[in-house]
A and B are shown apart, each in its own frame.
Chain A
Amino acid sequence: MSTYDYLTIAEAARLIRLREISPVDYTEALLARIAAIDPVYNAFIVVTADIARADAKAAEAEIARGNYRGPMHGIPYAVKDIFDVTGLPTTCHSKLRMNHRATSDASVVRRLSDSGAVLLGKLALHEFANGGPTLDLPWPPARNPWNRDLHPGGSSSGCGTAAALGLAPATLGTDTGGSVRNPATCCGVIGMKPTYGAVSRVGVFPLAFSLDHVGPITRTVEDNAILFQAIAGHDPADPASARRTHADCLENLKAGVKGLRIGVIAHFYEEDMAADAEQVAGITGAIAELRRLGAEVKPVRLSPLSQWMDCGRVIHYAEAYAIHERDLQERPQDFAPITLRRLLGGAFVPASEYVRAQQLRTLLCEEYRAALRDVDVLITLSSFDLPCRIDDDAAVARTYERQCRMPFNVAGGPCVSVPTGFSKSGIPLAMQIAGRAFDEATVYRVAWAYCDAAGWTERHPRVAQAAREPAVAQ
């Protein structure tokens, strides 16, 4: 293991600024690690080694001239292969997109490029961020870093896998019904779905426009906040982009939780649906830890989980079908069967149901805002079960029904998944912390306090070495 493998963004940024480490050496170390490990885990669809080396060289030269741009300068990152990067295909992990070439960068890629970050490559996902892990596609599915036989979560699977394995300290995914938080949960890392409208989606292939969010997946809470701040901000080209600015997420990050009010939505996982005992034990221990740290904890009730899930599902199915309708009519054979099954669900949703779902969403959003008038953040479980086998289609399908991530896509507020420990079999457990719209700062503050006290993010999976080289962009 090299000294660079599990370097945090915060620590690397400090060392780069002081010129104690070289962005070029850092990048080369991670490219070597990817070559050694990734063929076993399939986190990357493509490694952009030439771009990475050029970016790193440019960053190093610029910093040597005294022009340090900020905490992402010289930091390697990777994106789910749903973000446009000029000259590269945005495959969406689909046969339908193999011949695509992006002619411009996604807004967030441009922001990271402007901040001096180093692009390592593009990461695996569920086809169009909507299918599931399958071998029916041109690239294999990413594997769980803690046990290769298990589902790494999705749809931003490669992000969770790459972050947990120390292949990339910074990754970007997308989250329509939990697709940033699910891989973070399954892989034992930090995944933030920011407020709807906080991060531009321009140049990101859509799944369901009124539920889609771009979000960071990293190994630590501080790194997540650094990456979020680098990508957040108004973009006039995204109709949903908010004009307001978010609070500084780093200023009070380590201020602790003493005096903060935390609402626990326990009925989601105790009454509305029965969760796995180890997952419940994990969140119960985390709540006790937050109380010990000085937070005021009290129960909160929202509408039953089924109403949030139904509302989100109708909107998701209908909007996703609208995007893929022509290909589903003309090229159904080019989708993986699991994607075809999921996308076809939207073909037969009556328009009246979509309208009713939007109306219900208005009520649920008001309910969410009302709950956060009495508390500073909300806590609930993420997945109700431990990750299932990656090759068990029925179990994977159940996974997506047994979670409470969709409510936060419906409500639009910021929501982060953080680890709460490990199962007896050594698989990560997790919970979610959610907050008021555009109050990522308080969500990160609670997440940092808990993770700092608990120490779960300091554990790393035992990694296997590879026998073959990963794909390299031409």
Chain B
Amino acid sequence: MSNDAKPEIPENVRVLAEIRGLARALALAPASVIGAVERGRRIGAFPDKHTPVTELASRFSADPEGDA
């Protein structure tokens, strides 16, 4: 399967992919892995006022007042 153009692979992408066990995916589809690294880096544009320090972690429930 050849599903990607063969771009030059940045060293950080190669290292990250190997750490994550994705060497085969990188060889097969380098553009997809390069794109995934980029998306992972900028995926969460959360509001500035929201920080993990000030918010309590919690368990998700659609209806915490009920018996979910």
Binding site for B on A (CB under 8 A): 136, 195-197, 210, 240, 242-244, 303, 306-307, 310-311, 313-314, 317, 325, 328-330, 332-333, 337, 340-341, 344-350, 352-353, 355-363, 365, 411-413, 437-438
B:33-52 near A, CB below 8 Å: 33, 35-37, 39-41, 43-47, 50, 52
Q: Which residues of B contact A413 (CB under 8 A)?
A: 62
| Assembly CA distance A348 to B67 (angstroms) | 35
Query: A333-B28, A341-B36, A363-B50 given as contacts; is B55 within 8 A of A353 (CB)?
Result: no
Asked if A356 meets B46 with Cβ closer than 8 Å, knowing A242-B67, A347-B20, the reply is yes
Q: Is the CB of B3 within 8 A of A340?
A: yes
Contact for A355 among B4, B57, B67, CB less than 8 A? B57
Interface size on B, residues (CB 8 A): 38
Chain B 13-26 interface mask (CB, 8 Å, partner A; 1/0): 00011001110110
Docked CA distance A244–B63 (Å): 10
Instruction: Give complex CA distance A361, B21 in Å.
Output: 30
Tell me the dominant secondary structure on chain B's binding face: loop
CB-based nearest B residue for A197: B68
Spell out B's residues near A (CB within 8 Å): 1, 3-4, 16-17, 20-22, 24-25, 28-29, 32-33, 35-37, 39-41, 43-47, 50, 52, 55-58, 60-63, 66-68
For the A-B complex with A306-B45, A337-B1, A358-B60 known, give 17 more contacts whose Cβ atoms are closer than 8 Å: A242-B63, A243-B67, A310-B45, A310-B46, A333-B1, A341-B36, A344-B22, A344-B25, A344-B33, A347-B20, A348-B39, A348-B41, A356-B46, A359-B50, A359-B57, A360-B50, A362-B60
Return the contact of B68 from the options A242, A317, A353 (Cβ within 8 A). Answer: A242
CA distance A81 to B32 in the complex (A): 26
Residues of A within 8 A of B29 (CB): 332, 337, 340-341, 344
Q: Which residues of B contact A361 (CB under 8 A)?
A: 60
**Which of B24, B28, B36, B62 sits near A347, CB closer than 8 Å?**
B36
Closest-by-CB residue of B relative to A240 is B68
Q: Is the CB of B40 within 8 A of A349?
A: yes
Residues in B neighbouring A363, C-beta threshold 8 A? 50, 55
Residue of B nearest to A333 (CB): B1
Q: Please name all residues of chain A whose beta carbon is closer than 8 Å to the beta carbon of B57 when the two chains form the complex.
A: 355, 358-359
Closest to B49 in A: A363
| A197 in contact with B62 given A340-B32, A345-B39, A347-B36 (CB within 8 Å) | yes
